[in-house]
Amino acid sequence: MGSNSLTLAPAPRSAAAEEVRAEVREFLAAELAAGSFTTHVDTWLSGVDPAFSRKLGERGWLGMTWPRQYGGHERTAMERYAVTEELLAAGAPVAAHWIADRQSGPNLLRYGTEAQRAEILPRIAAGECYFVIGMSEPDSGSDLASIRTRATRNGDGDWVVNGAKVWTSNAHTSHYAITLVRTSPADPANRHAGLSQLLVDLSLPGITVNPIRILDGGHHFNEVVFGDVVIPGDMLLGEEGAGWHQVTAELAFERSGPERFLSTYPLIAEFARRASDPAQLAALGRISARLLALRQLSLRIAGALDRGELPDIPAALVKDVGTTFEADVIDEVRRVVDVPASLDSPDALGRALAEAQLHAPGYTLRGGTNEILRGIVARGLGLR
Amino acid sequence: MGSNSLTLAPAPRSAAAEEVRAEVREFLAAELAAGSFTTHVDTWLSGVDPAFSRKLGERGWLGMTWPRQYGGHERTAMERYAVTEELLAAGAPVAAHWIADRQSGPNLLRYGTEAQRAEILPRIAAGECYFVIGMSEPDSGSDLASIRTRATRNGDGDWVVNGAKVWTSNAHTSHYAITLVRTSPADPANRHAGLSQLLVDLSLPGITVNPIRILDGGHHFNEVVFGDVVIPGDMLLGEEGAGWHQVTAELAFERSGPERFLSTYPLIAEFARRASDPAQLAALGRISARLLALRQLSLRIAGALDRGELPDIPAALVKDVGTTFEADVIDEVRRVVDVPASLDSPDALGRALAEAQLHAPGYTLRGGTNEILRGIVARGLGLR
Amino acid sequence: MSDVDLVVETVRDILTGYEPFVLTAERPWDAGLWSALAEAGLTGVGVPEEAGGSGGELADAVAIVGALAAGAAAVPVAEQLLVAAPAVLAAGLDLPAPEEPLSIAVDGAVTAEPRDDGDGPGSWTLTGTATDVAWAGVARHLAVLASSPVGPVLALVDVAGRDTTHAANLAGEPRGSLVLQGVTSAGALLTDAQAERLRARYALARAVQLSAALQQVLAWTVQYAGERQQFGRPLGRFQAIQMELAEMAGEVTAVAALVDAAVQAVERDESPVLAAAAAKVRAGAAVEVVARLAHQVHGAIGFTQEHRLHHLTRRCWSWRDEAGTETAWARVLGAGLLADGPDALWPALTRVV
Amino acid sequence: MSDVDLVVETVRDILTGYEPFVLTAERPWDAGLWSALAEAGLTGVGVPEEAGGSGGELADAVAIVGALAAGAAAVPVAEQLLVAAPAVLAAGLDLPAPEEPLSIAVDGAVTAEPRDDGDGPGSWTLTGTATDVAWAGVARHLAVLASSPVGPVLALVDVAGRDTTHAANLAGEPRGSLVLQGVTSAGALLTDAQAERLRARYALARAVQLSAALQQVLAWTVQYAGERQQFGRPLGRFQAIQMELAEMAGEVTAVAALVDAAVQAVERDESPVLAAAAAKVRAGAAVEVVARLAHQVHGAIGFTQEHRLHHLTRRCWSWRDEAGTETAWARVLGAGLLADGPDALWPALTRVV
């Protein structure tokens, strides 16, 4: 097979990444020893801890790749990769800042005005300013072009927004929402036209944040309702009408990180503590081989980002394969252990299984369902 | 969930079936002991042995459910089920008569003329007359409506057939092909119109049977080429133009038997001889639970046939789930044994793995691909 | 309409008044629903009238359990009707009144010391901790499988007033422990085979619940796919979704066929062990596929506590682990099928159900 | 164009003259292709010129093996370039001329008795049977891993004129046995770790072949789906087929990433054992999915001997079992990752590749 849009150059080795990895490891060991957090599954969704996020900011582990002038540290994507995977493997509470650091900050760097960048990016890098993604709506799941939240200009040149966004992770603990809105009437001939992104301060009058509890009762998601919310005109992000293009690029950006295959890593670690008979060791080997392959894929994408590429199709592939793996881990472990899953289990493995299972439906839905992702991969294969 | 087109009443218990089962078991043990056959995987495709088929005919185990006047034995579908599953579980050479007994005979009973029935059915029931299915063509896989083999009436009222059929199992050892042909020009408005079934004597002049070897080199399939073959006018099967309807019913009929989940049973039996450690016993248990469920489903369909129903949607479901299982068995066994698959293996399990693997691509393709079958199931769920 | 259909209709009628809710330590079961079922005599079905029950066959009890499982009903009916009551009766013990919830405890370590001759029903002293007790803190009576120097013992414990530790399964159903320190109770010696059958009946009860719940999950998912629009058409029109729903249907239909057959094997008074093992393994394996695809098709909305889907998927995730995991029962099944020797798999398979 | 690209292009040019064919006992390999490769110096790549080779790096040898695997080339190049030649050189033995096929034997039971002091390269007497020997009857020389009273021995046997039993893998590649009865040959003592590394290199060689073959299978399947019409449009337009091809692409891409990384680990002169184990396990697991879906998309035509697909799928089905099954290597990997203790999985994972 010749090269195609799915293949990427092998990830470069990075001594700097290994150096920062060692630092993070030491930090995490100390924090765990001090009891500042306990390991859980899927903490990049559910582990909100602003104090912990600020500690990471202090150490220079947020906004790592951004220019220094915006509070960043001008380090490579490979170094950032090492930091994020260490945090995920430890099951550390990183949810507060996760979206801002991964996605909203880079988005502001690409499309933000100088004022927006100067105001917000240093606060993100300090671990003090948190973002949510304002894309999905109650009637628009995978079909983002059908969103209905509207923004119209008023006489002062400000935007008046009405509508509602859902699945906004941790909006109740966040400061801003980059919100996809319709700024021109829907055009049946071009479903992707007329959309724009607004940078919305969640403390503005007219915004209501209603909790959406997930099936285990956890409060991570919210509905954000906009009732005649007035957004200053200069809070447009990027170009008016370019919202579709911007979110597509943003989604590609968010799909390839280690959080797409390490959400259930704490379960694997717990299983490893138990693995002893040949069948368990073989299961650990199989799980590990899949994880190692995903890690190489994800590292390749980090390498491509360092080269200035935007590998959207491999990123979709990583998310599809990786999130499938996250759920498969549960099944693989269950095949070789006799520990019932329960949050109240006296056995840490039983608790990890329970956490992983209760969060499982999210893995292959968030950030684009796996069916959508496979469609993107198929397009990359030249089939559509 | 209320009743839907997928649910069927539980299979009735049948003392008669258990009686004939015991007879078949005794017969097979004697034949095996006498060395008249050796157990293989997938013998309903590859185990052609006319002498064995005649023995079954002598014992009254072919044409079991047919009227006595046509050489049948007027027994129930449940009794026939017991006979066929015992033969498959033993890996006995049943390929010569399989299609004729399962499918062509019932087809003749439903659509044949009195002369056709009187002439052919007793010979099938005796294990002396073998059939092939003449449906697929080189350019028509799952899309049967696109077939091109044509039959036109000549001045004598006979049919003149030109074209080619492929995947005709064992045409080189068979006597007749029930052949789907186009008897009227294609009508874009009704793709299913203009097709008819002909009862074709494979010894007629103008018919050439060319072998198609499958990937292990085995010769089971053929291309049957028709060059101005003159077929007597009274060899039309059923109604002219009703071919689509007839093959659809025929396909439904053939999809639910135990050969849709027992093709690799000899591999399971070989694995069972080896299973000893807990992981192997658990794997045997998992495989067996799936098999037992499929068997109940298949028995339910046999029961429905005895009640005169034509459960086409459950039959599609059984074939989808069952043939997937046939291939999964290989993977399940490989997970817990260290025996390489090889036809030359000194180890019977290695040979069974090899046979099962080399035949595996066929399981989920023959008689309608699993994608097509799932479409039928989806229709049964009310989705199309 | 058969008796079974009538019974199911009665249960469904009652259920319309009792929507499933999120179970908590404060509200760990649906006491109102239980009362309604008890008033209708449904908590005594399958128990002969002379034993204080409502009469009826095993098939009726199974139908009730299935209808309640599909309704995510938080009541100990499966444990009472399919496991504990038949076991208590078979052991010759006095069955409590059917309106007093009776559950079953087979896990943990409880020892029984005979207080009399220990032969047949008698009095025993129980010591130890019963763990993973279904409806601990809710059930009034508990049939406890204990071990004694002379063999397994089924003891009937009145747990009113006894402390249980709070623990719950993934759906919030109580699964706490009960500490017994020298508790005197009625009990009867069982053979090892009887104890094994009791465990098998428990596993089969969970399989019955799983089968019904999975059928309901499929029905909800098909309904949702028919209604939910994406990209201008119902989800169910997308071939990718159709493939997923067909796969779910294959699993659900296979489970139903095997579970029904296992129940019939018990009705025929055959040993339930291998049939129950097979049913439990097959039903548990289906959860992996069915729950995953159901959530996948439902999308984010099905992942919320407001949506009904989790009431069943959370139960399914736990029920497959309870009364013996799939892996444990798979080993039992694999070993049991080879009991007549390594060449006798096929005859064994045709005997299981 | 890099050296590696150049090498691959040379191999592909040569391959255009040598279509894959069905291997039989009479024609068990492609002698003509071997000669063409040898003439071009490709059978000595990775071997220093002073040792009689063509020079070049491991990466070049890997690229050659990959291109030949994708072409279903019936020649012992993977064994020679990636396993036997490096092992023979590392052991300090004299490497045969690169145009004489050299293969590897690690299975069976062969014992070696020293004929001299047994320290370093020397002379040994070999007795026993080497089984599952890749290219038995085709290879002129065999590097045999034998056991001796003082440790594992790598012996270099000239097998010209020796009888081998005929056996073949699923693709017809020779995998016979060789009986050695008091055969004198050059050999060298290895440490257990060196022997383990040799096995790992063999496993990695198969993983390299699998990765290349699976990439080719995907490419053929995508091409077929784009061309084959069903129901009036190309197969690749059906969403069900797209989902299957995307799943294949996910497997193939993951395998390639890990195998490449494992090769790089070897290039960095790290111990190859866990990297090779991971690569072999991952590549073998992918065969299950990729070969199944490739045949499913190709339909009946891909199941025939005339179609090219089986040349690769049959090889993949065997290669995953050879040089240690996935299960065997998965156990090695699982145990190896826990070598620093049950809490040290993550640091171990970040070190493997």
Residue-wise pLDDT for A363-376, tens only, equals: 999 988 999 999 99
Contact yes or no for A290 and D215 at CB 8 A:
no
pLDDT score recorded for residue D67: 98
Segment holding D260, helix H or strand E? helix D239-267
Cα A140 to chain center, whole Å? 19
Distance of CA B261 to the CA centre of its chain: 12
Instruction: Give the fold, CATH level 3, of D3-190.
Output: Butyryl-CoA Dehydrogenase, subunit A; domain 2 (2.40.110)
User: What is the average pLDDT across C332-349?
Assistant: 97
Burial class (CB in 10 A: 0-12, 13-18, 19+), A292: buried
Q: Which two tokens stand for residue C23?
A: 């179970």
Compute how many other C-beta atoms are within 10 angstroms of the C-beta atom of residue C22. 17
Separation in Å, CA of C250 to nearest CA in chain B: 6
For C187-204, how does the pLDDT look when each residue is reduced to its tens digit (9 = 90+)? 999 999 999 999 999 999
| Window B:67-86, CB contacts with C under 8 Å | 85
Supply φ then ψ for residue B93, to 5 degrees: -80, 90
Whether residues B284 and C338 touch (CB distance < 8 A) is answered with yes
Tell me if chain A has a CB within 8 Å of the CB of B338: no
Q: CA D57 to CA D266: how far, in whole Å?
A: 11
Judging contacts by C-beta atoms under 8 Å, the chain D residues touching residue A85 are: 350
Instruction: Give backbone dihedrals phi and psi of B222, rounded to 5 degrees, phi first.
Output: -145, 160
Residue of D nearest to C243 (CA): D240
| pLDDT on residue B1 | 34
Q: Is pLDDT larger for residue A229 or for residue A191?
A: A229
A383 shares contact with chain D (CB less than 8 Å):
yes
pLDDT score at A186 = 87
Q: Residues of C with CB below 8 A from D243's CB? A: 240, 243
Residue D337 with chain A: CB contacts under 8 Å: 272, 284-285, 288
C38 alpha carbon, distance to own chain's centre: 18
Domain boundaries, chain D: 3-190, 194-350
Q: Which of A382, A80, C160, B27 is nearest to D223 (CA)?
A: A382
Query: What's residue D1's pLDDT?
Result: 55
The pLDDT of residue A3: 39
Q: Could you list the mean pLDDT of each consecutive 10-residue stretch along chain D, which spans 353 residues?
A: 86 97 96 98 96 95 98 98 97 96 97 79 94 97 96 96 92 96 95 97 98 98 95 93 97 98 93 96 98 97 95 98 97 98 96 95
Report residue A85: phi and psi, to 5°.
-70, -35
Report chain D residues touching chain C, CB-CB < 8 A. Answer: 238-240, 242-243
Q: What is the mean pLDDT of residues C205-210?
A: 98
Q: For residue B250, list its beta bridge partners.
A: none
| A159-188 residue pLDDT tens | 999 999 999 999 999 999 999 999 999 888
pLDDT at C345 over 70: yes
Q: Does B3 touch chain C (CB under 8 A)?
A: no
Cβ-Cβ pairs closer than 8 A, B with D, add up to: 101
Domain D194-350 listed as CATH 1.20.140.10? yes
Neighbours of chain D (3+ CB pairs under 8 A): A, B, C
Q: Is A358 on the interface with C (CB under 8 A)?
A: yes
Burial of D170 (0-12, 13-18, 19+ CB in 10 A): buried
Identity of the residue in B142, B217, B342 whose CB atom sits nearest the CB atom of D167: B342
Residues B310/B249, Cβ–Cβ less than 8 Å? yes
Which residues in chain A touch residue D242, judged by CB atoms under 8 angstroms apart?
374-375, 378, 383-384
> Is A285 within 8 Å of D337 when comparing Cβ atoms?
yes
Taking the CA of residue D77 and the nearest CA in chain B, the distance in Å comes to: 22
- Of the listed ranges A304-308, B3-7, C207-211, the least confidently predicted one is B3-7
Residue B2: per-residue pLDDT: 35
The two structure tokens encoding residue D223: 């091409």
Nearest CA to D185 among D94, D83, D52? Answer: D94
Domains of chain A: residue spans and CATH: 15-129 (1.10.540.10), 133-241 (2.40.110.10), 256-381 (1.20.140.10)
- Closest-approach residue (CA) in chain C for A324: C292
Please give the structure tokens belonging to residue D312. Answer: 């690769």
In angstroms, what separates the C-alpha of C246 from chain D's closest C-alpha? Answer: 12
Nearest one of D166, D189, D164, D188 to D178, comparing CA atoms: D164
Whether C240 sits inside 8 A of D238 (CB atoms) is no
Count of A-C CB contacts under 8 Å: 101
CB contact under 8 A, C240 and D239: yes
Chains touching B (at least 3 CB pairs under 8 A) are A, C, D
Q: pLDDT of B105-140, one tens digit each?
A: 999 999 999 999 999 999 999 999 999 999 999 888
Mean pLDDT confidence for C166-170:
95
| 3-state DSSP of chain B | CCCCCCCCCCCCCCHHHHHHHHHHHHHHHHHHHCCCCCCCCCHHHHCCCHHHHHHHHHCCCCCCCCCHHHCCCCCCHHHHHHHHHHHHHCCCCCHHHHHHHHHHHHHHHHHCCHHHHHHHHHHHHCCCCCEEEECCECCECCCHHHCCCEEEECCCCCEEEEEEECCCCCHHHCCEEEEEEECCCCCCCCCCCCEEEEEEECCCCCEEEEEEEECCCCEEEEEEEEEEEEECHHHEECCCCEHHHHHHHHHHHHCCCHHHCCCCHHHHHHHHHHCCCHHHHHHHHHHHHHHHHHHHHHHHHHHHHHCCCCCHHHHHHHHHHHHHHHHHHHHHHHHHCCCCCCCCCCCHHHHHHHHHHHHHHHHCCCCCCHHHHHHHHHHHCCCC
Chain C's closest residue to D244, CA to CA, is: C240
**What pTM was estimated for this model as a whole?**
0.96
Contact check, Cβ <8 Å, C222/B288: no
Helix, strand or coil, per DSSP, at residue A293: helix
pLDDT score recorded for residue B3:
38
State residue D118's pLDDT score.
53
Question: Are A278 and B279 in contact (CB < 8 Å)?
Answer: yes
B293 to chain A, minimum CA–CA distance in Å?
A: 20
DSSP state, residue A382: T
Interface test with D, best of B42, B45, B133, B215 (most D CBs within 10 A): B215
Residue of D230, D288, D295 lying closest to B331 (CB–CB):
D288
Positive or negative torsion for Cα D194, D198, D203, D208: positive
Does residue A215 contact residue C310 with C-beta atoms inside 8 Å? yes
Chains within contact range of chain A (3+ C-beta pairs < 8 Å): B, C, D
**Contact A276/B at CB under 8 A:** no
- Judge whether D122 and D114 are in contact, CB under 8 Å: yes
User: Chains A and D: how many Cβ contacts under 8 Å?
Assistant: 159
Helices (H) and strands (E) in chain C, counts: 11, 8
Q: Do A331 and C166 touch (CB under 8 A)?
A: no
Q: Which residues of A touch D213 (CB under 8 A)?
A: none
Q: Do D243 and C243 touch (CB under 8 A)?
A: yes
Note whether A16 contacts D: Cβ–Cβ < 8 A: no
pLDDT tens digits in sequence order for chain B, 384 residues long: 333 567 888 988 999 999 999 999 999 999 999 999 999 999 999 999 999 999 999 999 999 999 999 999 999 999 999 999 999 999 999 999 999 999 999 999 999 999 999 999 999 999 999 999 999 998 887 788 889 999 999 999 999 999 999 999 999 999 999 999 999 998 888 989 999 999 999 999 999 999 999 999 999 999 999 999 999 999 999 999 999 999 988 887 788 899 999 999 999 999 999 999 999 999 999 999 999 999 999 999 999 988 988 888 999 999 999 999 999 999 999 999 999 999 999 999 999 999 999 999 999 999 889 999 999 999 999 987
Chain D, nearest residue to A315 by Cα: D250
Q: What is the mean pLDDT of residues A84-110?
A: 97
* Tokens 């070999």 sit on residue: D126
Q: Which residue in chain D has the smallest CA separation from C246? A: D240
Q: Please report, as a single letter, which amino acid is at residue A140.
A: S
Q: Does A308 touch chain B (CB under 8 A)?
A: no
One-letter identity of residue C24: T
Which helix (H) or strand (E) segment holds residue D158: the answer is strand D151-158
Q: How far is C191 from chain A (nearest CA, A)?
A: 25
Tell whether B336 lies on the interface with A, counting CB pairs under 8 A.
yes
Are the beta carbons of D243 and C238 separated by less than 8 Å?
no
* Closest chain D C-alpha to B140 CA, distance in angstroms: 7
